[in-house]
Amino acid sequence: MNIAIISFHGCPVARLGEKDTGGMNVYVLNLAKELGELGHTVDVFTRFHDPSDPQKVDMGSGATLIHVEAGPIGQQKSDLPMYIDEFVANVSATEKSERRSYDIIHSNYWLSGKVGSILSRRWKIPHVVTFHTLAKTKLRARVGESESDLRISVEQEVMRESTDILVLTRAEKMDLENLYGISPEKVSVIPAGVDTDIFYPVPKLKARVGLGLPDKETVMYAGRVEPIKGLDILLDSFKILNETRDVHLVVVGGSLSGDRELDALRQRSKQLGILEKITFTGSVNQSELGRYYSAADVFVLPSHYESFGLVALEAMACGTPVVASRVGGIPSFVDDGETGYLITWRSAEPFADRIEMLLENLDLRNFMSESARVKANSMNWSTVAAEVADYYCKLARCSELATAI
Provide the number of structural domains found in the chain: 2
Q: Is the domain of 129 the same as that of 180? A: yes
- Whether 198 is in a domain gets the answer no
Element (H, E) at 192: none
- How large is the angle between the packed helices 23-37 and 310-317, nearest 10 degrees? 60
Rounded to whole angstroms, the Cα distance separating 272 from 241 reads 12
Q: Is the domain of 394 the same as that of 369? A: no
Q: Tell me the per-residue pLDDT of 30-50, one tens digit each, with 9 for 90 and over.
A: 999 999 999 999 999 999 888
Rounded to whole angstroms, the Cα distance separating 68 from 53 reads 10
Q: At residue 194, does pLDDT exceed 60?
A: yes
Helices (H), 39-193: 84-97, 110-123, 135-141, 149-161, 170-180
pTM of the model as a whole: 0.88
- Whether 199 is in a domain gets the answer no
Give me the pLDDT at residue 399, please: 58
Q: Is the domain of 238 the same as that of 358? A: yes
Q: Is the domain of 246 the same as that of 274? A: yes
Q: Which string of DSSP letters, residue by residue, matches 30-76?
A: HHHHHHHHTT-EEEEEEE--STT--SEEEEETTEEEEEE--S-TT--
Q: Tell me the per-residue pLDDT of 83-107, one tens digit each, with 9 for 90 and over.
A: 999 999 999 999 988 888 999 999 9
Q: Is the domain of 169 the same as that of 73? A: yes
Which three-class secondary structure state does DSSP give residue 253? strand
Q: At residue 144, does pLDDT exceed 80?
A: no
Mean pLDDT over 150-179 rounds to 96
Q: Tell me the per-residue pLDDT of 355-375, one tens digit each, with 9 for 90 and over.
A: 999 999 999 999 999 999 999
Phi, psi angles (nearest 5°) of residue 264: -65, -35
- Whether 168 is in a domain gets the answer yes
Q: Is the domain of 29 the same as that of 149? A: yes
Give me the pLDDT at residue 21, please: 63
- Whether 75 is in a domain gets the answer yes
The whole-angstrom distance between residue 293's C-alpha and the CA centroid of its chain comes to 16
Distances (CA, A) of 226 to 18, 76, 156, 248, 377: 10, 16, 26, 21, 29
Q: Comparing C-alpha atoms, which of 81, 221, 223, 226 is closest to residue 141?
A: 226
Rounded to whole angstroms, the Cα distance separating 30 from 37 reads 10
Q: Is the domain of 213 the same as that of 335? A: yes
Give me the pLDDT at residue 32, please: 96
Give me the pLDDT at residue 379, please: 94
Q: At residue 10, does pLDDT exceed 90?
A: no
Binned at pLDDT 50, 70 and 90, residue 405 comes out as: very low
Mean pLDDT over 1-11 rounds to 94
- Whether 290 is in a domain gets the answer yes
Q: Is the domain of 355 the same as that of 277? A: yes
Q: Is the domain of 341 the same as that of 280? A: yes
**Residue 216 amino acid letter:** K
Q: Is the domain of 218 the same as that of 359? A: yes
- How large is the angle between the packed helices 260-272 and 231-242, nearest 10 degrees? 20
Q: Is the domain of 188 the same as that of 224? A: no
Instruction: Report yes or no: 177 and 140 within 8 Å, Cβ to Cβ.
Output: no
The CATH number assigned to the domain holding 12 equals: 3.40.50.2000
Q: Comparing C-alpha atoms, which of 361, 331, 356 is closest to residue 344?
A: 331
Summary mean pLDDT of the chain: 93
The Cβ of residue 336 has, within 10 Å, a number of other Cβ atoms equal to 14
**Considering only 126-130, 187-191, 223-227, 272-276, which range has the smallest mean pLDDT?**
223-227
Q: Is the domain of 180 the same as that of 300? A: no
**Considering only 95-99, 106-110, 300-304, which range has the smallest mean pLDDT?**
95-99
Q: Tell me the per-residue pLDDT of 319-336, one tens digit each, with 9 for 90 and over.
A: 999 999 999 899 999 999
Mean pLDDT over 328-354 rounds to 95
- Whether 215 is in a domain gets the answer yes
Q: Tell me the per-residue pLDDT of 276-286, one tens digit each, with 9 for 90 and over.
A: 999 999 999 88
**Considering only 15-24, 117-126, 281-290, which range has the smallest mean pLDDT?**
15-24
Q: Check residues 74 and 274 and name the one with the higher pLDDT.
A: 274
The Cβ of residue 52 has, within 10 Å, a number of other Cβ atoms equal to 6
Residue-number span of the structural domain to which 245 is assigned: 204-377
Q: Are strands 104-108 and 2-6 parallel, antiparallel or unpaired?
A: parallel
